[in-house]
Homo-oligomer: A and B are copies of this chain.
Amino acid sequence: MIELLDSICGDITKREREHFARTLSKIQLTTFLPSANIFASGAPFNGIYLIKCGMAKSFTRIDDQEIFTMIALPGDVMGCESLHSGIYESTLTSAVETEAIWIPTECLALLLRVSPQFRSYLNGKISRAIAENDFMICVLAKAKAEARVAYLLLKLFKATQDAGGGNNRKCLSLSRVEMADYLGLQFETVSRKLRLFSKLGHVRVSGKTIQVRNPAALKQICHSLAAPGC
């Protein structure tokens, strides 16, 4: 975890690092198999997770339902919404094989205390998460079904690009039902819109494997249908 520490809190001196070695050594990179539970709503809060690669679904508990509110992609920090309470407020489940760095509560407290750089790093991540949520609110408030589906495709597409996947063919690892839940639609609607994009030649759909052939057109659709930019 030395590289991690260097990248997000390089301001910790060698001496501090040795002094806190025992606590810091608890930070670990974990690999989760598909559909594994990373943390569950109601469980005791024991730290935050930085998604390193893969993809996870975050569910918010409302009453007795778990609602799919967020897709966690590499770079995202998960679990922050539970900092204030002793228990996790949401459930995080890996959609595919996912690597995440676990920062246990005590390490979190330590790093926040001794490293301005870490504080700034975490603030940045959190503020980005809030901005992302705000954006999702805009999508759900204003965008029509077509724009929502286009938005999701572009979002997943971009994540693949960022991860270095030069190819634009991608296995979604989300069922139609999951896509619909995330976008606030019915799965039949998602199916129809995918078909439409397919007919227009913007994508090639084959079950869960989708190839984005014309991202510019999808962006256009996002913008044109009262949707905020993608």
A residues bordering B, Cβ < 8 Å? 60, 62-63, 65, 67, 69-70, 80-85, 89-90, 109, 112-113, 116, 119, 123-131, 133-138, 140-142, 181-184, 223, 228-229
Question: Given A84-B125, A130-B133, list of 13 further CB < 8 A pairs?
Answer: A62-B229, A65-B228, A67-B141, A70-B134, A80-B127, A80-B130, A81-B130, A84-B123, A84-B128, A130-B130, A133-B137, A136-B137, A141-B181
A80 → chain B closest CB, angstroms = 6
CA distance A126 to B181 in the complex (A): 26
Residue of B nearest to A121 (CB): B84
For A69, give its contact among B60, B63, B82, B137 (CB under 8 Å).
B137
24 contacts between A and B (CB under 8 A): A60-B131, A60-B134, A60-B138, A62-B135, A62-B229, A63-B228, A63-B229, A65-B228, A67-B137, A67-B141, A70-B134, A70-B137, A80-B123, A80-B127, A82-B127, A83-B126, A83-B127, A84-B125, A112-B119, A133-B137, A136-B137, A137-B140, A140-B184, A141-B182
